Chains A and B, each alone.
Chain A
Amino acid sequence: MTSSDIVDIPRHWYNVAADLPFELPADLTPDQAGSATSQPVGRSMALQLPLALVRQTIGKTSEIAIPDPVRELYRAWRPTPLLRAHRLEQALGTKARIYYKYEGGNVSGSHKLATAIAQAFYYRSAGVQRLTTGTGAGQWGTALAVACRSFGLACKVYMVAGSFTQKPQRKTIMQLHGADVVPSPSLDTRSGKLARDRKIDGGNMAFAVTEALEDALASQGSALSVGSGEAYSILHSTVIGLEADEQLAKLGERPDVVLASLGAGSNFGGIALPFLKYKLRDSKHTVRCVSVESSACPKLTQGVYRYDYTDGSGVTALQKMYTLGHRFRTHNMHAGGLRYHACSKLISALYHHKWTEAVAYTQTDVFASAVQFTQLEGILPAPESAHAVHGAIQEALRARQDGTSPVILFCLSGHGLYDMSSYAEYLEGRMENVVIDDDAIRSSLGYLPDVEARGQRPS
């Protein structure tokens, strides 16, 4: 392995909005979608999101300065190492050069800490005293718990019940950082109690966010924080790609293909956008940016580009994005962080306009690659990150077949040390692939708000 982490922490995040050759579709209010659960008439509004994050969301400044307190906290684990997978290359018999950016070397164990630290800073600056959130596999919840602790904020995490049971260590490390962690559906919210009473299956990310939002709206000094799909989450994560760009440049390399797993978009956007920048600015650049999703939740490869709710409540804004429908459910999927029903509107728009690519893989294939990677390279990938490992291996094998020698870069977004039950299931031959048939997707899409058909937005 070659480490090339002799670079400084970037002073700015990269805002791709400055280089987009198209406008992002406007968000819609639930009223515009004819939601039955929209805002009560005449109620006064309290604003949940700090203006600083909104400025980042709608601004078109290319470089956004990283605040000093955030940068100081980044120093605990950044810059992260860029490593070359020499032994994997040899084992695959490829002439491709495979590099990976390892984001698992912090206390939260994943890339999520980059935006969690930034968000906690901005919320505290806005006078917020407590953050609530929903988490799937627990990576985001852990990152937010760590960040809240760093800035003296209280933290409440609604964790998807399946993951809560599968990964008790995740709960413990969140508690270790002072967070209050409950399984979702919980007994702490009206919607959670309702779901439990009706035995409604609420074990998914959209419902966990719904509970976190209800909690934040009902609690003075609280606000909801989300970790992946928002433009500012992606923005903060670009510190990953910016570092990788500088590290590769010091080695005299430039990637031909950049891969990352896709949950809602912060991981993929975080490493890919600083490289896509070159292509957006100059058509001579040919870098391919490939998002790798789970075939159990194939929003880009099998979803539709339509307006949908970003959570399950029907009270938040609607965004135009690739979606499987906010009622989509996936069971027995080990990469919980990829379980979100949709993809952020920014990453969706880039895919829609063909600036990026997407592939989907089954979990048994992904785990086979993860085992090969850990045996050769000595790092155990999180199931989500293993999708990128598998994608990179497929690219390297294709290069062998084609007789080419591309530079492949992927983001190893987190370690899998909390996921041993999943690895045990794989090793014992008990892991099954999740088959999503067209009828299941069609059924879920039937619940999409019919915005385009009502003529409120062009399709």
Chain B
Amino acid sequence: MTAATPDTAGPDTAGPDTAGPDTAGPDTAGIVRRVVVDELRANQVTASAPLDQVTDDLVLGSGGLGISSLLLLHIFVKLEASLGFTFEDAAVAGARFATVGDLVRFVTSAAPAPRRAGET
């Protein structure tokens, strides 16, 4: 199952405000962690864990980073802008997220494969 579509916002969606790279490369996990931290700071969320040590086993919600379901949705939209593709609504809606690792695995599996040199 793929959970992503290329970043060509159709007439039924509002695409991300800023275009990111064409593909998600091997640093997708790093980008996920960075966006999570940026959003936590931007929203002044008081996390139970230090933000410079966001590890995969950290809980996203209460008792961990304190991310609400609404903020997690915002993080997905920010990730679209950073990674340059849009997630399929149905795939996101059908998933469950407990830890940072859950989020990283979901985003990594959703990202389109990196393009090879010369590929258009």
* 13 A-B pairs with C-beta separation under 8 A: A27-B43, A41-B59, A44-B98, A50-B93, A51-B77, A51-B80, A51-B86, A54-B73, A59-B17, A61-B17, A65-B12, A126-B93, A456-B46
Q: Are B98 and A45 closer than 8 Å at their CB atoms?
A: yes
The CA of A54 and the CA of B43, in the complex, are separated in Å by: 16
Indicate which residue in A26, A42, A48, A56 contacts B14 across the interface (CB closer than 8 Å).
A56
Q: Are A39 and B68 closer than 8 Å at their CB atoms?
A: yes
- Interface set of A (CB-CB < 8 Å, partner B): 15, 26-32, 38-52, 54-56, 58-61, 64-70, 121-122, 125-128, 223, 317, 456-457
Contacts of B73 in A (CB 8 A): 47, 49, 51, 54
The CA of A54 and the CA of B92, in the complex, are separated in Å by: 12
List B1-27 residues whose CB lies under 8 Å from chain A: 11-17
Q: Are B45 and A42 closer than 8 Å at their CB atoms?
A: no
Of chain B, the residue at the smallest CB distance from A68 is: B11
Contacts of B80 in A (CB 8 A): 51, 55
Of chain B, the residue at the smallest CB distance from A29 is: B68
Q: Apart from A27-B43, A29-B70, A65-B14, what 8 extra A-B contacts exist at CB < 8 Å?
A: A32-B44, A42-B98, A44-B98, A45-B67, A46-B69, A52-B14, A55-B13, A127-B89
Indicate which residue in B17, B44, B92 contacts A60 across the interface (CB closer than 8 Å).
B17
Contact of B94 with A by CB under 8 A: yes
Counting from the closest, the 8 A-B pairs by CB-CB distance are A41-B63, A67-B12, A44-B98, A126-B89, A127-B90, A29-B68, A44-B96, A65-B11
Q: Are A51 and B92 closer than 8 Å at their CB atoms?
A: yes
- Interface set of B (CB-CB < 8 Å, partner A): 11-17, 42-46, 59-64, 66-74, 76-77, 80, 86-87, 89-90, 92-98, 102
CB distance from A80 to the nearest CB of B (A): 23
Q: Are B14 and A32 closer than 8 Å at their CB atoms?
A: no
Indicate which residue in A38, A41, A42, A50 contacts B89 across the interface (CB closer than 8 Å).
A50
Q: Are B98 and A58 closer than 8 Å at their CB atoms?
A: no
Q: Are B61 and A32 closer than 8 Å at their CB atoms?
A: no
State whether A127 and B93 are in contact (beta carbons under 8 Å apart), knowing that A47-B73, A51-B76 are contacts in the complex.
yes
CB distance from B89 to the nearest CB of A (A): 4
Q: Are A59 and B14 closer than 8 Å at their CB atoms?
A: yes
Q: Are B102 and A44 closer than 8 Å at their CB atoms?
A: yes
The CA of A28 and the CA of B46, in the complex, are separated in Å by: 10
Q: Are A26 and B43 closer than 8 Å at their CB atoms?
A: yes
The CA of A65 and the CA of B10, in the complex, are separated in Å by: 9
- Most chain-A CB neighbours within 10 Å: which of B11, B12, B59, B97? B12
Q: Are A43 and B14 closer than 8 Å at their CB atoms?
A: no
Contacts of A67 in B (CB 8 A): 11-12
The CA of A48 and the CA of B89, in the complex, are separated in Å by: 11
Contacts of A56 in B (CB 8 A): 14
The CA of A69 and the CA of B11, in the complex, are separated in Å by: 10
State whether A45 and B72 are in contact (beta carbons under 8 Å apart), knowing that A52-B89, A55-B16, A67-B11 are contacts in the complex.
yes
Q: Are B61 and A54 closer than 8 Å at their CB atoms?
A: no
Contacts of B62 in A (CB 8 A): 31, 38-43
Q: Are A58 and B63 closer than 8 Å at their CB atoms?
A: no
Q: Are B87 and A48 closer than 8 Å at their CB atoms?
A: no
The CA of A58 and the CA of B73, in the complex, are separated in Å by: 10
Contacts of B60 in A (CB 8 A): 45
The CA of A398 and the CA of B78, in the complex, are separated in Å by: 49
CB distance from A298 to the nearest CB of B (A): 28
Contacts of A38 in B (CB 8 A): 62
Contacts of A43 in B (CB 8 A): 61-62, 98
Q: Are A125 and B89 closer than 8 Å at their CB atoms?
A: yes
Contacts of A317 in B (CB 8 A): 68, 70
Contacts of A60 in B (CB 8 A): 17
Q: Are A52 and B13 closer than 8 Å at their CB atoms?
A: yes
The CA of A30 and the CA of B71, in the complex, are separated in Å by: 12
Contacts of B15 in A (CB 8 A): 55, 59, 61
Contacts of A50 in B (CB 8 A): 89, 93
Indicate which residue in B12, B59, B93 contacts A121 across the interface (CB closer than 8 Å).
B12
CB distance from A29 to the nearest CB of B (A): 4
Q: Are A42 and B69 closer than 8 Å at their CB atoms?
A: no
Of chain A, the residue at the smallest CB distance from B78 is: A58
State whether A45 and B14 are in contact (beta carbons under 8 Å apart), knowing that A38-B62, A54-B77, A125-B90 are contacts in the complex.
no
The CA of A194 and the CA of B62, in the complex, are separated in Å by: 25
The CA of A40 and the CA of B71, in the complex, are separated in Å by: 16
